[in-house]
Structure 1
Amino acid sequence: MGVTRTHLSVSLDGYAAGPGQDVDHPVGVGGKALHEWAFALAEWRGSHGLSGGEENASTAVLREVEGNVGAVVMGRNMFGGGPGPWDEEHPWTGWWGEEPPFHAPVFVLTHHPREPVDMKGGTTFHFVTEGPEAAVGYARAVADGQDVLVAGGAATVRACLNAGLLDRLDLHLVPVLLGAGERLFDGVDGAVLEQERAVEAPGVTHLRYRVHR
């Protein structure tokens, strides 16, 4: 039986994205610094159709947290396309090009209905207006025993934590101070976390927590 989990990079001062998120800065101003540890890895580059890269202690962690995923849940902001109703004349299909890296059904939380979008490589985006419980429920139903990954952003992870939907957090703690942006745990109401492991790697410490409800 799979678990429902997330993995996110966070700054030392608790931000999962920088300020000013928009089309030019999808993870906010300065937010790319949270992900440089992954961008350098051959594992990450290969999954995005790129060559080169390095291997270090983060390689096995990234392979594990991105593996065994049967379905994905994400928020509208992570999927992108701007707020409000969808632009039917210029339909947004995500930040990831014609073949997104998910290769599984993806359930996008939104206030605005939209027909599913099929992409190359086995990714289909489904748009859910009934809230996080419904999105996770749909994802679990199609995951076929594999894990459900709550990919983000921070608001979606918080909503799932507060609703008691998450079993595990994998946090990649990066030694940068963003000073502003979107904090991961602002507004989280009383989740109890048990640390299960810590892995030191170049430019990041990988922390795993089990969520007790």
Structure 2
Amino acid sequence: MAKVIAGATVSLDGYCQDANGSSAALYADFEELTGSGYMQRVADETGAVLMGRRTFDGAEDPDDYADSYEFQAPIFVVTHRPPTVEPKRNERLWITFVPDVEDAVRQAVAAAGDRGVTFVGGADLFRQLLAGGLVDELAVDVMPVLLGGGVRLFDDGTAATLEKISVEEVGVRTCLRYRVVPATT
């Protein structure tokens, strides 16, 4: 069964967006990152993608997902506002809009098969997944920048025990990978 991998990039002080709502400083290395072996391995392990509506809307043209998105796999967007026009698809990538977080995870896990479900973007959805016990692994990239304010990734009081899987340097970023240890009752 597929594992759910919640990924995010944060500043050294824990923010995933600055005070103006931008994450540009966290992706100053975007060209280097997308061409790296690290990103190729992440893409290779991805059998489905889970994202929130704001992240989906971040594309200038939704049809670009089918044409050039680094994760060529089915995408499940959690939203109560699906677009009126279905985005372009190809034989590997299509987009499904799902109003319920748990249902979106179930559909993504089924679509991923024996590969992973990669979550991209959105602190709110990230927190919902983690608080709901829906995350198997965390993949947190740390950029060497201090934003000093904005949206924190871990800011809702959710506690979790983590077990280190790996630490990797990709250019200036440090890529941390943890397994979420299930809570015992």
Q: How do 1:137-148 residues align onto structure 2 when only pairs under 5 Å count?
A: 137-148=106-117
- Aligned partner (choices 25, 40, 65) of residue 33 of structure 1: 25
User: What is the distance in 2 between the residues matched to 1:205 and 1:95?
Assistant: 31
- Aligned partner (choices 137, 144, 164) of residue 175 of structure 1: 144
- Aligned residue-pair number: 179
Relative to the length of structure 2, the TM-score reads 0.84
User: What is the distance in 2 between the residues matched to 1:97 and 1:147?
Assistant: 19
Q: How do 1:81-120 residues align onto structure 2 when only pairs under 5 Å count?
A: 94=62, 96=64, 99-101=67-69, 102-114=71-83, 116-120=86-90
Shift of 1:114: 4.8
Say if 1:9 and 1:171, in contact at 8 Å, map to a contact too: yes
Shift of 1:145: 1.7
Shift of 1:113: 4.2
Name the residue aligned to 2:45. Answer: 68
Show CA shifts across 1:84-143 (max 9, x none).
Answer: xxxxxxxx853846614132111111122456533346321111112x111100111111
Q: Residues 210, 146 of structure 1: CA spacing in aligned structure 2 closer, same or farther, 3 A cutoff?
A: same
Shift of 1:64: 1.9
Structure 1 residue runs without a partner (length 5+):
22-27, 46-58, 82-91
Structure 2 residue runs without a partner (length 5+):
none
Q: Residues 93, 123 of structure 1: CA spacing in aligned structure 2 closer, same or farther, 3 A cutoff?
A: farther
Task: Determine which structure has greater relative contact order: mean sequence separation of CA pairs < 8 Å that are 6+ residues apart, divided by chain length.
Answer: 2
Name the residue aligned to 1:200. Answer: 169
Give the % identical residues: 36
User: What is the distance in 2 between the residues matched to 1:166 and 1:18?
Assistant: 25
Name the residue aligned to 1:5. Answer: 5
Query: Does residue 77 in structure 1 map to residue 58 in structure 2?
Result: no
Query: Does residue 129 in structure 1 map to residue 99 in structure 2?
Result: yes
Q: Residues 8, 110 of structure 1: CA spacing in aligned structure 2 closer, same or farther, 3 A cutoff?
A: same
User: What is the distance in 1 between the residues matched to 2:94 and 2:68?
Assistant: 9
- Aligned partner (choices 186, 190, 193) of residue 159 of structure 2: 190
Shift of 1:203: 1.1
- Note the aligned Cα RMSD (angstroms): 2.3
Q: Residues 107, 177 of structure 1: CA spacing in aligned structure 2 closer, same or farther, 3 A cutoff?
A: same
Relative to the length of structure 1, the TM-score reads 0.74
Show CA shifts across 1:14-66 (max 9, x none).
Answer: 01122334xxxxxx1xx22212334224xx25xxxxxxxxxxxxx33222222
